[in-house]
Amino acid sequence: MNIKNEVLVRVYIVLSVIVLAAICIFAQAIKISVIEGDRWRAKGKELYVKYVDVEADRGNIITEDGSLLATSLPFFEIRFDPNSTGMQEKDFESNIDSLAFCLATYVDNTYTPGGMAEFLRNERLLGKRNVLIKRKVSYSELKRIREFPLFNKGQYRGGLIVDRRSERHRPFNMLAHRTIGYIRDGAKPVGLEGYFDKYLAGKKGKRLMVRAGKAWIPINDLTEIEPTVGDDILTTLDIDLQDVTETALLRGMQHHNAKHGTAILMEVKTGAIKAIANIGRTEKGWWETYNHAVGSAVEPGSTYKLATIMALLEDGHIKLTDSIDIEKGKHQFYEEEMIDASKESFTIDTTTIQRAFEISSNVGIAKLVQLHYGNREKRAAENFIKRLKSFNLHLPVGIEIDGEAPPYLKEAYSADDDWSGTTLPWMSIGYEVTITPLQMLNLYNAVANDGVMMKPYMVKEIQRYGETLSKIRPTVVNKRIASPKTISEVQSLLEAVVEEGTAHRLKTSQYKFAGKTGTAQTNYKRRSSKKNLKYRASFAGYFPAEDPIYSCLVMITEPSQNGIYGGDVAGPIFREIADNAYASKIALTPAINAYAKAPLTEKKFPSISVGKKDEMAYVLSYLGLPIDKTTKRDWGVLKADSDTLNLYGRTIIEDKVPNVVGMGLRDALYVLENKGLKVVVSGAGKVVNQSIIPGTQIRSQTIRLRLN
């Protein structure tokens, strides 16, 4: 029992000590957290040290020719710690006036040197640790600032704080602004910047910072973990074509005072986007406010008739030579009356289906669809929808920009889709369906590409320091959207629209292009007031028609002056883009030796050339041009007679003014100056006129030659 009691006593003693220690610890915790909490928290904040992320420079966005669309430019933020722990009072006082003079003279001239010195002294007296000197300092400015008195002693003794930052810069300003996009705090990422952020952003670094009041000050000039610069993305955009497209679109927007517009240029064989422009009217002028090419799904109007006529042809319902009664441009579908926009329609009863398409007859196209898909059982309408889906008109294109609007295609007789008796005829002419401009262009591009549908894309490579990390190759999404026969027929139709149809005023003798006009009434359901009608004009097509290289779509929303129809508003912009593309891209112009050499005729022989007989004979021999007749005189005149070259003689009389018409300048000067004549020349080329009649006696006159 004694042993047991002794053990219990010891246990109680140990337990008492533990309890007492716990009470003491608890009491101390209460004291620190509650009684002295504010003091210690303030102290902790003052001494708090942590690693802070250092943002990496973002990678560049580059056009295919190497031009910079977006890049990160470094700049520096300069601050001053007048209470730096390493700064001595004597250093501060002996240098502050000189530092103030340098800052007021070279950095911030809103202060006088005296005012700057007073400001810095006051900040020191107030215990400030992070005084802003200047934002956005260039590297050359930074090098000068580092040499200023006091600052040249470094971060601790001199109090100089340098914070390196970077700013996104777009050298071409509005050019492809919305397509390039941006990354901003608190905002949804936009454009290529947003979609490829994981490549462009790079990897953050780490820098040890100490809290000084409410600010953070770097402990070292160097980062502990250096950030990794982001990768570059090489786009398919062509800077020349982008400029051409944007300039033409802006000019058209201004001419028609429209709400907004978009233009897209795509490479037919690959689906590469070469240019994409979106311009809208704002209170401050014209700017890229939204990417309508990708993000706006709208009722397209008559450009959709291409899909309709393809469905009719592919299903074997029509031939282009068949006749259709367009009823002078008016027809009643149940309770709704459909009216053509073309004036020519109002004078025609019956015409061919091809002509109905050329003049964009709403009535003609809608009656064909209603006849073949609308007056039978449900399966007929389903076949029409199925055929449209075979053209991929129900699917997004998957472009590398977030926010692509999905197309909308109704299901046959679906109550959820508000299907009615007028749905089929109105759908056939581009209403009761929605599609983005890029999705519509993809259909036209497939027709230009002989039925092969490509995936539109805008980025071809990911690069690091100029070396390719990965390539993004062209992708075929549909090997054949329609039979070769159908594709060939609609290609002919689109060419005919330009040659003989609604776009005939746009055609040019310089090259051939194909396309379709479109005009959609944006508020067509509100028919009670015709004063407030609004329209959407478009033109979609490709060029050159015989061997397409580029497809293009222009869509202008709510033009308010100088026309409303696709052929008057969007068509001229398309034509301007195509014209300037031809002027800037040699690939569009066939080589002079691309075709077989044509037989020479009299007009194509070198003729009426005058020069030294031996020199001319040598050149002609080198070119393989035989001379039928020649002369024994020193000077000869080359003349073509029918299909034969002859070299006739020209006599030069010693004391008479010679005939130099037809000579080159070198020979004319040689002959005239050797005879003592002074020569005045205008123009370039061969001599076409001389001021003194040949055969005139020479008396040291001045003779004037005109060259051409």
Amino acid at 656: K
More confident call, 594 vs 60: 60
Query: pLDDT band at 526, cuts 50/70/90?
Result: very low
CATH topology classification for 52-235: Penicillin-binding protein 2a (Domain 2) (3.90.1310)
Is-same-fold flag (52-235; 265-458+478-564)? Answer: no
Range from 172-186, 444-458, 459-473 that averages highest in pLDDT: 444-458
DSSP for 312-357 reads HHHTT---TTSEEE-GGGEEEETTEEEE-S-GGGGG-SEEEHHHHH
Whether the Cβ atoms of residue 364 and residue 353 lie closer than 8 Å to each other: yes
Whether the Cβ atoms of residue 281 and residue 244 lie closer than 8 Å to each other: no
Q: What is the CATH number of domain 602-707?
A: 3.30.10.20
User: How many beta carbons lie within 10 A of that of residue 169, not counting itself?
Assistant: 10
Query: 424 in helix, strand or coil?
Result: helix
**Domain boundaries along the sequence of the chain:** 2-35, 52-235, 265-458+478-564, 602-707
Length of the chain in residues, anyone?
708
Q: What pLDDT, on a 0 to 100 scale, did the predictor assign at position 585?
A: 81
Query: pLDDT band at 527, cuts 50/70/90?
Result: very low
User: How many beta carbons lie within 10 A of that of residue 618, not counting itself?
Assistant: 11
Q: Please, is 137 exposed, middle or buried when counting C-beta atoms within 10 Å of its C-beta (0-12, 13-18, 19+)?
A: buried
Structure-token pair, residue 493 = 């139709």
pLDDT per residue over 83-114, tens digit each?
887 888 898 999 999 999 999 999 988 899 99
pLDDT per residue over 63-73, tens digit each?
998 889 988 88
More confident call, 49 vs 222: 49
| Conformational region of residue 74, where left means phi above 0, alpha means psi within -120 to 50, and beta covers everything else | beta
Q: What pLDDT, on a 0 to 100 scale, did the predictor assign at position 35?
A: 75
Peptide bond into 590 cis (omega under 30): no
Query: pLDDT band at 222, cuts 50/70/90?
Result: low
Query: pLDDT band at 44, cuts 50/70/90?
Result: low
Whether the Cβ atoms of residue 430 and residue 546 lie closer than 8 Å to each other: no
Which residue in the block uniquely carries the two structure tokens 């240098």?
95
- In the predicted model, what is the mean pLDDT of the chain? 86
- Could you say which of 3.40.640.10, 3.40.710.10, 3.40.50.12780, 3.40.50.720 is the CATH number of the domain covering 265-458+478-564? 3.40.710.10
Of the CA atoms within 13 Å of residue 64, those in its CB half-sphere come to 15
